[in-house]
Structure 1
Amino acid sequence: MLTIILAIVLFVLLIFPHELGHFVAAKAVGVRVNEFAFGMGPALYKKQGRETLYSIRAFPVGGYCAMEGENEESDEEDAFVNKPAWARITVLVAGSAMNVLIAILVLSIMFGVIGAATTTVDRVQKGMPAAKAGLSRGDRIVSVDGREIQKWSDLSTALSGSDDTRSITVTRNGTEKTLYVTPVKQDSRYVIGITPMVTHSPLLAVRNGITGSWSMTRSLFGALKQLATGHVKADDLSGPVGMVSLVHQTEKAGLINFFYLVALISLNLAIFNMLPFPALDGGRILFVIIRLFTGKAITDRQEAAVHGAGMALLLLLMIFVTWNDIERLLT
């Protein structure tokens, strides 16, 4: 049951904010939204606004934003197809932008809960090199061998590689002090026997959320490059069934891992939607740019036909990855 609930939360956090981004941007640039829905399937509740029908639907797995003239010709002035290129691009980018914001928000909350390591020493293990060298609780590590230490991971990097004696400069009671420490090897790592103080600063959590999202994005682009060059096989791709399986795995590992998964898939969705492929937001943006220079050489009907073909290919891809997911579950 918990897996089902978390899977629903995952799909809501992935799809609904994406559509909300389109909705907010559409309203901002004057595009008429015929319906904005939370969920999919039969309507449980409807309310007609001044120009938009708001609805809650039976299956809470996302939502949609139906804009006037989004996939067809329209004579209405406030139709999507009749808006300037900059306005249409703004609306199209907004969905993926919301997915990026969701990733940053989720990671920021996660880092705020678990805290972030500072460069201030919390505990010094007895009998270890740090204790022998005279490090104390409350010492703030400034540098190692003259190299500035800005975050705790910098200290791990500075100590790695060998058991050579290092000079560690710390600030203690407002005064700098230099100590000499010889690391020892434990579990393939060189350590000196200290643990950091942890802070739950909101500002630091947000900063870590942004840097964490950027690091994830770089990794995802690297994976995309590997897929394009054949280093990652198409059989390794996963769809909704695989996502539910991952939710089940992270449920066992704890909620922190679940929210990390939410951020990862949200960024993945943002990148995927910006690919210049028909039916995706990136493909639609590409057509906006092409038609900006070609004028009426491509009609709305022709563009809609290309996007329709692209959607058919995406559905085939979905079937393929879903079959892969089912095979993996059965083997």
Structure 2
Amino acid sequence: MNFLTEIVAFVVAIGVLVVVHEFGHYSVARMCGVKVLRFSVGFGKPLVSWVSKKTGVEWTIAALPLGGYVKMLDERESEESIAPEDLPRAFNRQPVAKRIAIVAAGPVANFILAIVLFAAVFAGGVSEPEAIVATPLANTAAARAGFEGGEKIVSMRDADNGGETHAIRSWSDLRWKILDASFDHRRIVLSAKTHEGTYDFPLSVGTISDADAEQDFMDKLGFTPGGGTLTVAGVEAGSAAQKSGLQAGDKLRAIDGHNVDNATSFIDYVKAHGAKAVTLTIERAGKQQTVQVTPDVKHDASSGKDIGRIGAALANQLPSVDVRYGPVESLRLGVNRTWDISMYSLRMFGRMITGEASLKNLSGPVTIADYAGKSARLGLAAFVSFLALVSISLGVLNLLPIPVLDGGHLLYYLVEAVTGKAVSDRWQLVLQRAGLVCIVALSMIALFNDLARLIRF
């Protein structure tokens, strides 16, 4: 069933994004007076095809759904002579400004879609974990900043130059703001409420490293959602948890004296204490008691290391907040979120080129399908947000100055606009081949990363 969900979600996501992208090209081409011959969703053999009586455009759904195209009248691509009355409507005869507008319209349509989708999520409201910090691991940035666990972060500001203060409304909000600061190498100050009052926590987040491709950067900084209740949902027969007397329904309050309010930090602590006895403070039937358990040692195939395991299923209930905005504010936030993700994508791509970031950050269709399925199972808001994220990625990718992509064609036309001369056919052919090699190489790396994540080699 999960596999079927992933396939359906993937097809829906790719279908929507391709149609929107190509409709951008199509609509602006029509507005510029260019004759459109075909609008195809997918490549290869047509499965369904019909011709519009009103526009004369052939609409096609093809066998391979990983893309699409809009075919316009163009003297360079036509195998037959073009009627004289249609020549003014050929793409190649349009002024350079119109050609730029037509080519740029596809990526722009993807950005507009992302803005609309994000705005819809913000306006519709979504339940998110509160920005309450769980007890951080020692030597992490959060621990060095002074966080002990249980603090509720309410705002963030730049540490230098008296920066503007930004309110923090949820964990997702906190994540995006820290991510933005990490890319600009900014030092920040987080203001958080505790039982004693509101205090400032100066934080140096550094930058995103290669390891973050495999691990959530917030985890590496020591930030995990806290303030919740961790309950034993089940106990495996013969496990260390059963031998210690743990029971389903027990609420975990502390481990070796450290407060427990987050599954991630609890599991990490247990993993690091294989064959070492730990003391759990639990609440059972309204009364607190202690239980000593010695985690079994198991080999973790994904990391290649021996880790501790107690054999208990956990249920983590985190405090949440309903985040909802008005129409105007939702649209503004949609624009800001789209801009932030676009800049993040460009910066990450630039760092991959310079070697500052790992090529492991590239993802292909397998990973997209996986996340499409996971987001669809989480609900409509999660799937819509995922769709917006992929739409931005598609827009950014197509604007890269690589021949065969929209960005490559835009580069040709910008050169023509500056020099007054079109790039020669010979140079276009050479660059086209080089661009194709780049795209094939990127696709192979992305596919390799997909397989590596899938089978963990």
TM-score (norm 2): 0.53
- In structure 2, relative to structure 1, the CA distance for the partners of 1:84 and 1:327 (3 Å cut) is same
Q: Is the Cα–Cα contact under 8 Å of residues 127 and 321 in structure 2 kept in the other structure?
A: no
Residue 160 (structure 1) aligns with: 192
In 2, distance between residues paired with 1:27 and 1:239?
33
Q: Is the Cα–Cα contact under 8 Å of residues 107 and 398 in structure 2 kept in the other structure?
A: yes
Residue 22, structure 1, aligned to residue 25, structure 2: yes
Alpha-carbon distance, 1:222 to partner:
2.8
Percent identical pairs in the alignment equals 28
Residue 47, structure 1, aligned to residue 51, structure 2: yes
Residue 317, structure 1, aligned to residue 442, structure 2: yes
Give a deviation string over 1:189-215, Cα, whole Å, max 9, x none. xxxxx9977545333322222222222
**Amino acid aligned to 1:20:** F
Residue 331 (structure 2) aligns with: 206
Residue 96, structure 1, aligned to residue 113, structure 2: no
Which one of 307, 311, 323 corresponds to residue 432 of structure 2?
Answer: 307
Which one of 53, 56, 61 corresponds to residue 56 of structure 1?
Answer: 61
List aligned pairs for 1:248-267, cutoff 5 A: 248-267=373-392
Alpha-carbon distance, 1:311 to partner:
2.4
- Count matched residues: 281
Gaps of at least 5 residues in structure 1 are 118-146, 167-184, 189-193
Q: Give SS of 1:54's match.
A: strand
**Amino acid aligned to 1:45:** S
Q: Is the Cα–Cα contact under 8 Å of residues 413 and 422 in structure 2 kept in the other structure?
A: no
Residue 81, structure 1, aligned to residue 92, structure 2: yes
Residue 144 (structure 1) aligns with: none
Alpha-carbon distance, 1:93 to partner:
0.8
Residue 33, structure 1, aligned to residue 39, structure 2: no
Q: Give SS of 1:206's match.
A: helix
Which one of 351, 354, 366 corresponds to residue 241 of structure 1?
Answer: 366
Residue 66 (structure 1) aligns with: 71
Q: Is the Cα–Cα contact under 8 Å of residues 108 and 208 in structure 1 kept in the other structure?
A: yes
In 2, distance between residues paired with 1:320 and 1:195?
38
Q: Is the Cα–Cα contact under 8 Å of residues 33 and 67 in structure 1 kept in the other structure?
A: yes
Q: Give SS of 2:24's match.
A: helix
Alpha-carbon distance, 1:21 to partner:
0.3
Alpha-carbon distance, 1:149 to partner:
8.4
Residue 286, structure 1, aligned to residue 291, structure 2: no
The CA RMSD over aligned residues, in Å, is: 3.7
Q: Give SS of 2:89's match.
A: coil
Select between 16-25 and 46-55 the one with higher mean Cα deviation: 46-55
Alpha-carbon distance, 1:60 to partner:
4.9
In 2, distance between residues paired with 1:327 and 1:70?
45
Alpha-carbon distance, 1:63 to partner:
2.9
Residue 276, structure 1, aligned to residue 379, structure 2: no
Q: Is the Cα–Cα contact under 8 Å of residues 100 and 413 in structure 2 kept in the other structure?
A: yes
Alpha-carbon distance, 1:95 to partner:
0.5
List aligned pairs for 1:184-203, cutoff 5 A: 199=324, 201-203=326-328
TM-score (norm 1): 0.71
> Which structure has more helix as a fraction of its residues?
1
Give a deviation string over 1:90-147, Cα, whole Å, max 9, x none. 0011001000011111111212222599xxxxxxxxxxxxxxxxxxxxxxxxxxxxx9
Give a deviation string over 1:275-308, Cα, whole Å, max 9, x none. 1121111111111122234455733454245324
**Amino acid aligned to 2:94:** K
- In structure 2, relative to structure 1, the CA distance for the partners of 1:41 and 1:108 (3 Å cut) is same
Q: Is the Cα–Cα contact under 8 Å of residues 69 and 81 in structure 1 kept in the other structure?
A: yes
**Amino acid aligned to 2:103:** L
Q: Give SS of 1:3's match.
A: helix
Residue 225, structure 1, aligned to residue 350, structure 2: yes
Q: Give SS of 1:272's match.
A: helix
Alpha-carbon distance, 1:150 to partner:
8.1
Give a deviation string over 1:159-185, Cα, whole Å, max 9, x none. 42877756xxxxxxxxxxxxxxxxxx9
In 2, distance between residues paired with 1:54 and 1:197?
43
Give a deviation string over 1:9-34, Cα, whole Å, max 9, x none. 11112222111100011111112211
Which one of 4, 11, 14 corresponds to residue 14 of structure 2?
Answer: 11
Alpha-carbon distance, 1:69 to partner:
2.2
**Amino acid aligned to 1:229:** T
In 1, distance between residues paired with 2:450 and 2:323?
40
